[in-house]
Amino acid sequence: MADPMTTVSVLREAMRRFVAERDWEQFHSPKNLVMGLSVEAAELMEHFLWVSNEESHQVVHDPARLGEVADEMADVALYLLALCNTLGIDLSEAIVAKIAKNAIKHGLEPKAEGGALTVSAEVVHGKLAVTVVDTGVGFARAATAGTGMGLQNIRERLKLIYGDAAELRIAGNAPSGTRVTIVVPYKAT
């Protein structure tokens, strides 16, 4: 089940079955799942604790360590999928909605005269590209002090679910504003 051939719904269903076969639904309250997710995220962070940003990129050259990181990433993703199942949240919709919120907050909101926000989607060569375009002040010019955490979270979620098969592209939109595109594998059902 490689990323280009697997959808979020397929992974959610696999997790749902795994949980049901073990009668674990009784333990899967949102509180317990978030706590478990937090523990697994901390275990993932341990692999990068006390190293520089540059050193953190070197994990790709150490197959054993990369395998350990992949295991922890999978644990985080599994808890996230279980939480989506328990709460009935569509993760793909949540990610696109978050990008749209960020476009408003960091692009349109600071622009006195307002602007426009456009969301589009297309399937090209087996990949779904969802694009959010605003005519705001532009990503780098927004006065709202963002930490970059939202974009980092989106990148991490995409990586957890799709590995290298997903992309997050951010670019300027002429004459003003920002264009954000998420590209993920797409399989017609």
State residue 43's pLDDT score.
95
Q: Name the pTM for this structure.
A: 0.64
CATH number at residue 177: 3.30.565.10
pLDDT, one tens digit per residue, over 149-181 is: 777 888 888 888 888 888 888 888 888 888 889
Expressed as residue numbers, the domain containing 126 is 91-185
The mean pLDDT value of the chain amounts to: 86
What's the average model confidence in pLDDT over 55-79? 94
Domain boundary among 87, 116, 132: 87
User: What's the residue count for the chain?
Assistant: 189
State residue 12's pLDDT score.
92
State residue 110's pLDDT score.
64
Same domain, 103 and 76: no
Same domain, 25 and 68: yes
CATH number at residue 71: 1.10.287.1080
Same domain, 71 and 144: no
State residue 189's pLDDT score.
63
State residue 109's pLDDT score.
63
Q: Is the model's pLDDT at 5 over the cut of 80?
A: no
Domain boundary among 87, 109, 131: 87
